Amino acid sequence: MAILNRIEIHPKVMLGKPVIRGTRIPVELILRKMSEGMSAAELLDAYPRLTRDDIHAAVAYAADTIAHEEDVFVQPSQKQTRR
């Protein structure tokens, strides 16, 4: 399954958030609902335009996004104390 065939990012659709292609269903919504305990079957019932492949693509997109993010650690500056 190609994620790029299922996930779309367009500035005029949902403010540029990643959505399921051809819908206004954000990847974030799918992930949030699943994190709250909603099953794939419940998602499919609640959002009839979704398919199982769309749900898998949303999860794969999130995994790929996290895998390619960079963490930048900044040391807090040491405050100089006055004597």
pLDDT along the chain (83 residues), means of 10: 83 94 96 98 97 96 90 77 59
Query: What pLDDT score was predicted for residue 74?
Result: 85
Q: Which domain holds residue 21?
A: 3-62
Q: Are 58 and 20 in contact (CB under 8 A)?
A: yes
Residue 59 CA to residue 61 CA, distance in Å, equals: 5
Query: What pLDDT score was predicted for residue 20?
Result: 97
69 belongs to a structural domain: no
Query: What pLDDT score was predicted for residue 69?
Result: 79
Domains held by the chain: number: 1
48 belongs to a structural domain: yes
Q: Are 53 and 6 in contact (CB under 8 A)?
A: yes
76 belongs to a structural domain: no
Residue 59 CA to residue 34 CA, distance in Å, equals: 10
Report yes or no on whether pTM surpasses 0.85: no
> Burial of 54 by CB count in 10 Å (0-12 exposed, 13-18 middle, 19+ buried)?
buried
CATH of the domain at 8: 1.10.10.10
Query: What pLDDT score was predicted for residue 75?
Result: 84
